[in-house]
Amino acid sequence: MQKSELISPHGSDTLRILLLDGKEREEELKRAETLPKVVMSSRETGDLIFLGIGGFTPLEGFMGQDDWKGVCQDMKMANGTFWPIPITLSHDEKIAPGTEICLVSGETNEVMGTMTVNESYQIDKDFECKHVFTTADTEHPGVQKVMEQKAWNLGGPVKVLSESYFPKDFAAIYQRPAESRKLFEEKGWKTIAAMQLRNPMHRSHEYLAKIAIEVSDGVYIHQLVGQLKPGDIPADVRVRCIDTLVENYFDKSRVVQGGYPLDMRYAGPREGLLHAVFRQNFGCTHMIIGRDHAGVGDYYGPFDAQEIFHQLPEGSLKCKMLPIDWTFWCYKCGGMCSMKTCPHGKEDRLFLSGTALRKALSEGGDVPAEFSRPEVLAILREYYAGLKDGERVEVKMHAHATGDAKR
């Protein structure tokens, strides 16, 4: 068998796939029904699915206390493997070591997997939040999720039995790492830049993707289809927007779309690193990091996620950052530019952001033609027009979305 020329998975020569199938899955499902049940949050369920499909290679389950502490404090697991954000499961009771449990989705009540509990431990939630999010402010949506966790963390290996509704509901884009790797190999790509998306693609996203295509074999537009914060645009709408953009404005032979089942953590720089870790598992050699990557509000500087990549010890991560400066539409240049290419002043620039686009659309305001392609705007206007009373969430602007933040 010919050796793959793609980048190897993170911390492993092969993908660590924990999802069972066939007879083995059927037998484990029957056994799961006899085990004590632990109900998981949406974030934990998404993490379990990702463990199953190999997205979190080389992890074998939810982290124990030593891994949790090392990852929070030093971005290293107990065995020295680089890892930037803890992957944990919480429960309201301590469970004896060696106990086997059934893992159930709190959203769908479906049996998702089984786990052998190696340890139960309590954590300092402020400690985790201050290290991972750089804040313990409960207004931060990621901090809120940590503070809502139950009293005990459970660590141990898992067997995964389901991918929930993701393969069916997002059949057009949901992908496992083995599938994206196969696609890249079929295309003969060796350098692949991953583009993280949680918003519909506006002109800045399009510009970033095209810059990446210029310097690599292709771009992997990889969007989150798990849960977001209130007011964000749902995945099915974003998929339609990207589809029409790729169809009309890209060389389709240079683009692969994918969807993945995690919830956003909004952890800014640390989440940028996590994005690079699992994009390596999907076969990507580079991770596009632009302005305010995985940020929320004004908790992070606009380029903190780039700075953290520069601080990593050599050898931590094979997937490299593709840093791109602040991008905007310049009326004098007559097109998309960045701080590195445009000589004009702020008065000539239209700063583009998903937050600004959501705010304008949710309030029925005007959206400049330079902000987004007309086909994309038509889909978004249709979505906002269909929202019922009470479904609209006030969108708050922050400095990063207006061009007022300093680099």
Which is the catalytic residue, given 153, 176, 199, 373? 199
Q: Do domains 22-164 and 173-260+266-407 have the same CATH topology?
A: no
406 pLDDT tier (thresholds 50, 70, 90): very low
Give dist(CA 249, CA 374) in Å, integer: 12
Place of tokens 């893992």: 103
Please report, rounded to a whole number, the percentage of residues in the chain having pLDDT higher than 90: 77
Per-residue tokens: 199: 């918003």
Taking residues 281-295, report their average pLDDT.
95
Nearest Cα to Cα of residue 242 among 318, 331, 172:
172
Cβ 32 vs Cβ 111: under 8 Å:
yes
- Whether 238 shows a pLDDT value over 90: the answer reads no
* Range list of H helices, 250-391: 269-281, 304-310, 354-362, 374-385
The radius of gyration computed from the CA coordinates of the chain, to the nearest angstrom, equals 21
Exposure class string for 356-372: b at 16+ Cβ within 10 A, else e? bbbbbbbeeeebeebbb
The DSSP line for 101-162 is EEEEETTT--EEEEEE--EEE---HHHHHHHHTS---TTSHHHHHHHTS-SEEEEEEEEE--
- Whether 401 shows a pLDDT value over 60: the answer reads no
Q: What is the pLDDT of residue 399?
A: 53
Q: Mean pLDDT in the chain?
A: 92
Comparing 160 with 229, the larger pLDDT belongs to: 160
Lowest mean pLDDT among 1-10, 71-80, 92-101: 1-10
Strand residues in 164-209 grouped as ranges (E): 192-197
Cβ 101 vs Cβ 32: under 8 Å:
no
Domain ranges of the chain: 22-164, 173-260+266-407
Assigned CATH for 173-260+266-407: 3.40.50.620
Nearest Cα to Cα of residue 288 among 220, 390, 201:
220
Give dist(CA 202, CA 377) in Å, integer: 9
Exposure class string for 227-261: b at 16+ Cβ within 10 A, else e? bbeeebbebebbbbbbbbbbeeebeeebbbbbbbb
* Cβ-Cβ contacts under 8 Å for 203 (sequence gap 6 or more): 329, 336, 352, 370, 371, 372, 373
Cα 238 → chain centroid: 14
Cα 192 → chain centroid: 17
Is 392 noted as a catalytic residue in this protein? Answer: no
Q: What is the pLDDT of residue 226?
A: 85
Q: What is the pTM of this model?
A: 0.92
Per-residue tokens: 305: 């996620």
Cβ 58 vs Cβ 81: under 8 Å:
yes
Which is the catalytic residue, given 198, 240, 279, 373? 198
Assigned CATH for 22-164: 3.10.400.10
Nearest Cα to Cα of residue 232 among 7, 344, 391, 389:
391
Is 407 noted as a catalytic residue in this protein? Answer: no
- Which tens digits make up the pLDDT trace of 295-321? 998 999 999 999 999 999 999 999 999
